[in-house]
A and B are shown apart, each in its own frame.
Chain A
Amino acid sequence: MSERDGEPALVEVESLKKYFPIRKGLLQREVGRVHAVDDVSFAVHEGETLGLVGESGCGKSTLGRTIVRLLEPTAGSVAFEGRDISKLGTRRLRPLRREMQMVFQDPYASLNPRKRVGSIIGTPLKIHGVEKSAQRERVQELLETVGLSPEHYNRFPHEFSGGQRQRIGVARALALRPKLIVADEPVSALDVSIQSQMLNLLDDLQKELRLTYIFIAHDLSVVRHVSNRIAVMYLGKIVELSPAEELYQRPIMPYTEALLSAVPIPDPDLSAKRERIVLQGDVPSPIKPPSGCRFHPRCRYMTDICREVEPPLVTYGNDHLAACHHPLNVDKETLSRAEVSRRHSPNAADAGAKPRDPARPIPGTR
């Protein structure tokens, strides 16, 4: 999927920031801030799936929740169908809630155990003033849409397996015919055999109902399966944004390369042959993120500039962006044509930070 400049995007995120204050002491003074989402810009087009990947603590869930305004942004804007929704009050936001829904990770925690399925899925209809007589019918229709049976209407969540509960969560999200669904790790709590059923269902629903997904996950193989484009996050920043297949064929950011190489492959011979980049250490604290490129303390291509200058997102053509001083898989010519993307990093320091040297091969590897 390309940039599609003429057509307005369904969701347009610009310089979005979400900081959580850390308060201490009697007076609850602010002593620091968790930089959960730190200056992120991107667009999501109608009908596409944008995958959002990264390790835990990279800010992907916070970003998802800030987009649908479950969290208040600290700065920046989110436009939905061309209209800035980041500053709307509760009342003016309510009609927009119909258009944006979420599916949560844990099918055990996200359904009220005391409510029957009919009432769980029916609540959004009630809140948004759907006529009572029409509610039941709509709920039963939804149950069928997600592959459950209308007779399940009067059951409680505990009577269902994890996969079925997740289907109930999806039915609830679909109740008001939203345009955008933010799915936060919707399959990671499910068994492999159930996971693939769920992914196929989400795929069918997207085609049938022309849904747009923001699909948050840590599993790169799952994300590849569902996404048209993928954004890789690290410590609150998008470090690479690319059409899905291209990200797997030609990762530019060393972090993406390492993430990809860490995914286990269910093939013993292949997995023995494969070069594995084991990242040392953990993700640093988002309270005091490292200077310059936030990935530099764990990067094997790191040089002085990485420690000092933060790399802006640079576009390498074919809608592929990455923030790195030493890009991988990029030849001299592409590098010379590459440009700092104003659209995706409007606050980037200056164009002087454009990468000049591709990554050098690491001695002792291919």
Chain B
Amino acid sequence: MPERLIEVENLKVQFATEDGLVKAVDGVSFELSRGQVLGIVGESGSGKSVTAMTLLGLTRDRNTRFEGAVRYKGRNVLEMDEEELQEVRGNEMSMIFQDPMTSLNPVYTIGDQIREAIQIHQRADKRTARKRAIELLQQVGIPNADSRVDNYPHEFSGGMRQRAMIAMALACNPDVLIADEPTTALDVTIQAQIIELIDRLKDEFNSAVILITHDLGVVAEIADEIVVMYAGRVVERADTRALFYDPQMPYTWGLLGSIPRLDRPKQERLHSIKGTPPSLIRTPAGCKFRPRCPHAFDKCMEEPDLVNRVEDPHHLDRCWLGVNEKRKLREATLAGEEEAA
């Protein structure tokens, strides 16, 4: 049994704003073990990034309220003070952000920024830290790392900047790497390189990865388990194959159906989920997906719990529909056919 690294238990994150209380994360639970890749999938505003940032204590603010627990090796991150958090960040868990253009400081060299991460977290002198920075750049596949280390971010291409970000995140051998949309700003060819890199480094560093994305294609390749989020909650959670081949939540199969697929004959029209995601201030009553769900019925006015409803005990979902009924209903959607109005 691999070591359990993270346990998130009924996490709630709420922001007080002028317009009202934003329930960004509303009762999220999952676990992560060493060697595992967990995919968190959802649209913008589903709470996936807030969840990730909360794992590192990055959402703390005067207007923020937390409930539940985020346990890292048994210690609750939500209760740590800044000093303890500083120990955890970088050393134990680190994060790669979406936009490599804005998350690097343009006035320092790449090498200086990686060196800084090493010197803050480990007692290393400047020379050793620089040597380590070069090693890291080599590991993430930057050619001529020993001269490139002195380049500024603008001298790197988008893909190389993302590699540099990964090098920085790995600087202190963290156990958990959180990647928030690491490939969204990149071209497909570069995306393929970065995904391959993250997968390889996970094994080399014997760590675990949380991969946050809106792209189901990306998680299909490397995730072991997938959590689908909608309006601040987990609506489905399953092993990767189960999620793709036996999706239980109409939202999940709607997402799967709306992707134009290269591996299938071209469709005349694309399936689409009608409407838009709800506001997180006033979420709909009952099942949060109900207003957009073509299969909603009376019972959906009551919110279903995230529980196991199928043969596979690891597979959880929030949907009142009977399993057999769902398996029949989803066929047309998964084939990408348009919803009968």
A residues contacting B by CB (< 8 A) are 55-56, 161-164, 191-197, 199-200, 203, 218-222, 224-225, 244-245, 248, 258-260, 262-272, 276, 278-279, 281-283
Contacting residues of chain B (184-208) with chain A, CB-CB under 8 angstroms: 187-193, 195-196
B243-279 interface bits toward A, Cβ cutoff 8 Å, 1 = contact, 0 = none: 0100000000011101111110011011111101100
Indicate if the CB atoms of A193 and B254 lie closer than 8 Å: yes
A195 CA / B257 CA spacing, docked (Å): 12
Indicate if the CB atoms of B188 and A263 lie closer than 8 Å: yes
Indicate if the CB atoms of B262 and A268 lie closer than 8 Å: no
Chain A binding surface, main DSSP class: helix
With CB as the reference atom, state the residue of chain B lying closest to A55: B187
Indicate if the CB atoms of B157 and A197 lie closer than 8 Å: no
Tally B residues with Cβ within 8 Å of A: 45
A197 CA / B193 CA spacing, docked (Å): 30
Chain B residues near A281 (CB-CB < 8 A):
143
Indicate if the CB atoms of A259 and B188 lie closer than 8 Å: yes
Distance (whole angstroms) from the CB of B203 to the closest CB of chain A: 16
Indicate if the CB atoms of B255 and A192 lie closer than 8 Å: yes
Q: A193-B254, A225-B267, A264-B188 are in contact. List 15 more A-B contacts (CB 8 A).
A: A191-B277, A192-B214, A193-B273, A196-B271, A221-B260, A225-B266, A262-B192, A263-B262, A264-B191, A264-B220, A271-B217, A278-B193, A279-B193, A282-B157, A283-B157
Given A193-B272, A267-B220, A268-B240, answer yes or no on A225-B260 (Cβ-Cβ < 8 Å).
Answer: yes
A208 CA / B136 CA spacing, docked (Å): 56
A360 CA / B34 CA spacing, docked (Å): 43
A283 CA / B187 CA spacing, docked (Å): 10
Chain B residues near A258 (CB-CB < 8 A):
189
Distance (whole angstroms) from the CB of A11 to the closest CB of chain B: 24
A161 CA / B267 CA spacing, docked (Å): 27
With CB as the reference atom, state the residue of chain A lying closest to B188: A262
Given A221-B261, A262-B192, A265-B262, answer yes or no on A200-B272 (Cβ-Cβ < 8 Å).
Answer: yes
Given A265-B261, A266-B217, A279-B189, answer yes or no on A224-B276 (Cβ-Cβ < 8 Å).
Answer: no
Shortest beta-carbon contacts, A-B, top 3: A264-B217, A196-B272, A193-B273
Contacting residues of chain B (133-192) with chain A, CB-CB under 8 angstroms: 143, 157-160, 187-192
A314 CA / B244 CA spacing, docked (Å): 41
Indicate if the CB atoms of A196 and B258 lie closer than 8 Å: yes
A56 CA / B193 CA spacing, docked (Å): 16
Distance (whole angstroms) from the CB of B52 to the closest CB of chain A: 18
Indicate if the CB atoms of B258 and A259 lie closer than 8 Å: no
Given A200-B269, A271-B220, answer yes or no on A220-B262 (Cβ-Cβ < 8 Å).
Answer: yes
With CB as the reference atom, state the residue of chain B lying closest to A56: B187
With CB as the reference atom, state the residue of chain A lying closest to B183: A264
Distance (whole angstroms) from the CB of A201 to the closest CB of chain B: 10
With CB as the reference atom, state the residue of chain B lying closest to A53: B188
Chain A residues near B196 (CB-CB < 8 A):
278
Chain A residues near B271 (CB-CB < 8 A):
196
Indicate if the CB atoms of B187 and A266 lie closer than 8 Å: no
Given A191-B43, A196-B272, answer yes or no on A266-B259 (Cβ-Cβ < 8 Å).
Answer: yes
A203 CA / B261 CA spacing, docked (Å): 17
B215 in the interface, Cβ–Cβ < 8 Å? Answer: yes
B216 in the interface, Cβ–Cβ < 8 Å? Answer: yes
Chain B residues near A220 (CB-CB < 8 A):
188, 262
Distance (whole angstroms) from the CB of A318 to the closest CB of chain B: 17
A194 CA / B45 CA spacing, docked (Å): 13
Indicate if the CB atoms of B192 and A248 lie closer than 8 Å: no
A69 CA / B215 CA spacing, docked (Å): 35
Chain B residues near A200 (CB-CB < 8 A):
269-270, 272
Contacting residues of chain B (58-90) with chain A, CB-CB under 8 angstroms: none
Indicate if the CB atoms of B220 and A224 lie closer than 8 Å: no
Indicate if the CB atoms of B276 and A266 lie closer than 8 Å: no
Given A196-B272, A282-B159, answer yes or no on A245-B192 (Cβ-Cβ < 8 Å).
Answer: no
A222 CA / B260 CA spacing, docked (Å): 6
A196 CA / B191 CA spacing, docked (Å): 22
With CB as the reference atom, state the residue of chain A lying closest to B196: A278
Chain A residues near B195 (CB-CB < 8 A):
264
Given A56-B158, A265-B220, answer yes or no on A278-B188 (Cβ-Cβ < 8 Å).
Answer: no
A135 CA / B34 CA spacing, docked (Å): 63
B122 in the interface, Cβ–Cβ < 8 Å? Answer: no
Contact of A269 among B189, B241, B262, B273 (CB under 8 A): B241
**Which of B215, B220, B244 counts the most chain A CB atoms within 10 A?**
B220
Chain B residues near A219 (CB-CB < 8 A):
188
Distance (whole angstroms) from the CB of A286 to the closest CB of chain B: 12
**Which of B215, B216, B259 counts the most chain A CB atoms within 10 A?**
B259
B105 in the interface, Cβ–Cβ < 8 Å? Answer: no
Indicate if the CB atoms of A268 and B260 lie closer than 8 Å: no
Chain A residues near B261 (CB-CB < 8 A):
221, 265-266
A276 CA / B263 CA spacing, docked (Å): 14
Indicate if the CB atoms of B43 and A193 lie closer than 8 Å: yes
Indicate if the CB atoms of B276 and A194 lie closer than 8 Å: yes
With CB as the reference atom, state the residue of chain B lying closest to A191: B43
Contacting residues of chain B (93-139) with chain A, CB-CB under 8 angstroms: none
Chain A residues near B272 (CB-CB < 8 A):
193, 196-197, 200
B25 in the interface, Cβ–Cβ < 8 Å? Answer: no
B302 in the interface, Cβ–Cβ < 8 Å? Answer: no
B8 in the interface, Cβ–Cβ < 8 Å? Answer: no
Chain A residues near B267 (CB-CB < 8 A):
225
Contact of B215 among A194, A244, A264 (CB under 8 A): A264
Contact of B191 among A163, A192, A262, A267 (CB under 8 A): A262
Distance (whole angstroms) from the CB of A294 to the closest CB of chain B: 15
Given A200-B272, A278-B192, answer yes or no on A266-B220 (Cβ-Cβ < 8 Å).
Answer: yes
